[in-house]
Structures are given as C-alpha cells and as structure tokens.
Amino acid sequence: MKKIITLIMVGLMVFSSIVAFADVNANVPVPTLYIGEMDTVKPMLISNDVETITNRSEEEKYTISKENDKFTITIIENPSTGYQWNYKVADKTLIKVIKDEFSSSTSGLIGSPGKRIITFEVKEGSNTEINFNYSRSWEKAAIDSFILNVKSTNNLLNITNLAKDSESKSISKIYYNNELVASDLNVVREKNISYLPLRNVFEKMGYTVKWNSENHSISISKGARWTEIYIDKNYYSKNKMAPIKLSHAPIIKNGLTLVPVEFLSVIFEMQVSLKNKNYYISNNNVVSHMGYVKDISVDSRGNTNITISTKKDSREMMDQIIIHTNGDSTIFNKSFKKGDFIKAICPPVMTMSIPAQTSSYIIY
C-alpha cells in the first residue's frame, strides 16, 4: 500500500513540473527550419527529419504576368546558397530586358529564398526562346533549367514552357520503324537545335559509317546512297550534289557525332516526327517547302501558323503556303520573325485552297 501511495505522489510531482515548465515557456517560440515554399514557414522540431524539396512544380517555381508587349517572370531564387538564375535570349533583336531585380523574402528568416523579377519587351511578330538555368557561377552544371518559347502575333503574347526540368534537354528517345535505336541514347537539345547521334542511328538503319581522322569527315553509305559531312562545317551534300546548309553544322559532344534532325529528311528523304516527346524515324515520304515569312498567327490552342511566300515582297496568294505547326509534334530548329527565310519539312499532302495549307514536322 505504501508503494502505491509513493508512486502516486511521484506522478503528481512530475505532472506539476511539466505544467510549470509549459507555463513558463508559453511565449517561447518553437525552433523552426525553413523547408520550402517562399514566405511560408512550417514549424518543425529540430529533432525531426528535415524535408528536402528537390523538385518544385513549375507553378511553384515561377509566375508570369503579361501586359501589352511586355511580360514579367517572377522566379524563386536563393542567392545565399550561391545559386542564381541565368538566362539567355536566343535572338536579342526580338526580345530585350527592361528590368531585372531581386526582392528579399518577407519571412525574416536568414537564408530563406526571395524573388527574382525580370521584365522583357517583345517585338511584334517574334518567335524565339529564352533559356533559364539555375546554377552557381563556379560550377558548370545547372541543378534546374527550363526554356520559354515566346511568340507575339497581332499584339498577343503567347508563352509556353518547352523544357520542364534540368533533364529535359536530353530525355527524348529515338525510334526507327517503332524500334528503339538504343536505350542509353537520347536526342540532344543544344542552343535551341535538336540533334541526333549520327553513327548509332544510321548503323541501326543498315548504313555504313566511316570516320576520316585526317580531315574530320564522316562518310555515310548504303547502296547507291552516299554523303559526306565535316565536323563544324555547315556543308551537307546529297549524292555528291551541290552542298546544302541546315540549321547547324555537325558537332561532337561527349564523344558522339551529332547532326540536326532535319539532316535525315533533307539528305536521306526520311520522316522524323515528334510524338510524346520522343523522335520517330521512318521511311515515309516527306517534302520541303521554303520561303519568306509573310505572317505569323497563333490559334486558340497556342499553335503557330506561318504563312510563307517564295518571293519576299510578293502579295500573290498563289505564291503563299500556310504552314500549321503544333507545339507537341513540330520540331523547331530555328527562331524566326516576319521577313525571315525558313524551310519546313512537311507531309506530301496539302489542301486545294488558296493559299494552300499543310502541317509541318520540322521548321529550320
């Protein structure tokens, strides 16, 4: 009985001590760690596991507001970590920076991120891209990136995100006749141009590929088909005919020779189509249309329609073709505006209307 009474008394003493401690510390804040959304603090005991947010959604990463020919992007940035957003406009004649400033967090917490606020002015008729990379100045690799495609038509701005994470430049797989070329090979998106790994793709299609170290050239042959390309020279020939220029010269990256995707269509008359972010190569017929950009319009779904003419100053409807593009299935290897000369790889069909109309696989 004495033991029971003793235990009860000890319990009462412990309880009263807890109540007293809680009363004394009622106004003492709980230690917190900053773990996520800007200007939002989530209370967490120091002894708890810290939540690591490694990949915010695009909606949390930035917001965009538009006004006439200008738009402002507000991006989460934390300079205290050494990371800052860097951006590069593909065509500076079309877009210029009006304002670039940083706004600190209002949370009052040391080391919490703030907002990077950048305002751009867009020239009418523009169609170009802005690359954003989140990195430290002393490190080469970016931990996050995205690409905005900016179009201006009839004073209407249309802005779409082309790359939604740091891996988006090289996540697209390559298929030939619906068979995967190689599980470890991807399309490379470099400076707004999509490239294919030459040797792997052509050997998959039964071609012989030979490297000439003396002049840094590569020959590709299969039966009567033959061509030769030179690294860093925008000089492509088709069966020893006059040279043709594409969106870019062949390049070498990570030990692989890369060629712009239109190389297969222009030189080898093969179809390269984009489906669900993957690239599909087939022997289907394609045709090429080229001309000066007369007009650029954006439909209700955000797709761009381009009117081209064989003559720069011509107003003849018979000289014009309307090229319909799709943000999910058209490969853009060129930024352009009104008056620019472009080429389009298209299916071999078009409407009987005036002007004639067709869709496009590649713009370059």
Rounded mean pLDDT of 110-126?
A: 86
Mean pLDDT, the chain, integer: 80
Residue 314 CB: number of other CB atoms within 10 A?
14
Cβ distance 245 to 263 under 8 Å?
Answer: no
Of 187-196, 246-255, 276-285, which range is least confident?
187-196
Residue 294: is it exposed, middle or buried by C-beta count within 10 angstroms (0-12/13-18/19+)? buried
Considering the segment(s) 287-363 as one domain, its CATH architecture is Beta Barrel (2.40)
Strand, coil or helix: 115: strand
Does the model's pTM come out above 0.75?
no
Dihedral (CA of 245, 251, 257, 258) sign: negative
100 pLDDT band, cuts 50/70/90, is: very high
Strand, coil or helix: 319: helix
Look at residue 245 in the predicted model and tell me its pLDDT.
Answer: 93
pLDDT in tens, 52-70: 222 344 445 788 999 888 9
CB hemisphere CA count around 155 (13 angstroms) = 2
Which of these, 193, 194, 197, 169, lies nearest to 181 by C-alpha position?
Answer: 197
Query: In the chain, what percentage of residues exceed pLDDT 90?
Result: 41
Cβ distance 271 to 197 under 8 Å?
Answer: no
Q: Are strands 362-363 and 341-346 parallel, antiparallel or unpaired?
A: antiparallel
Strand, coil or helix: 296: strand
195 pLDDT band, cuts 50/70/90, is: very high
The letter for the amino acid at 13 is M
Cα gap 275→290, rounded to integer Å: 24
Q: What CATH class does 169-280 carry? A: alpha beta
Cα gap 265→250, rounded to integer Å: 15
Which pair of structure tokens corresponds to residue 123?
Answer: 């020239």
Cα gap 342→321, rounded to integer Å: 12
Cβ distance 305 to 297 under 8 Å?
Answer: yes
Q: Are strands 225-230 and 256-260 parallel, antiparallel or unpaired?
A: unpaired
Look at residue 228 in the predicted model and tell me its pLDDT.
Answer: 92
Give 103's contacts (C-beta < 8 A, 6+ positions apart). Answer: 114, 115, 116, 117
Checking if the pLDDT of 14 tops 80, the result is no
39 pLDDT band, cuts 50/70/90, is: very low
Residue 214 CB: number of other CB atoms within 10 A?
5
Cα gap 273→28, rounded to integer Å: 63
Q: Considering the domain 58-166 in this protein, what is its CATH number? A: 2.60.40.2020
The letter for the amino acid at 38 is M
Rounded mean pLDDT of 28-35?
A: 33
47 pLDDT band, cuts 50/70/90, is: very low
DSSP class per residue in 255-277: TEEEEETHHHHHHH--EEEEETT
Cis? peptide before 355, omega within 30° of 0 = yes
Rounded mean pLDDT of 129-136?
A: 87
Checking if the pLDDT of 136 tops 60, the result is yes
Rounded mean pLDDT of 325-331?
A: 88
Rounded mean pLDDT of 277-297?
A: 93
Cis? peptide before 29, omega within 30° of 0 = no
DSSP conformational letter for 118: E
Domain boundaries, the chain: 58-166, 169-280, 287-363
The CA-based angle 172-177-182, given to 5 degrees, is 45
11 pLDDT band, cuts 50/70/90, is: low
Backbone angles phi, psi at 79, to 5 degrees: -65, -20
Checking if the pLDDT of 173 tops 90, the result is no
Cβ distance 286 to 348 under 8 Å?
Answer: yes
CB hemisphere CA count around 209 (13 angstroms) = 14
268 pLDDT band, cuts 50/70/90, is: very high
314 pLDDT band, cuts 50/70/90, is: confident
Look at residue 149 in the predicted model and tell me its pLDDT.
Answer: 87
Cα gap 93→211, rounded to integer Å: 39
Checking if the pLDDT of 10 tops 70, the result is no
pLDDT in tens, 204-247: 999 999 999 888 899 999 998 899 999 999 999 887 788 899 99
Cβ distance 164 to 146 under 8 Å?
Answer: yes
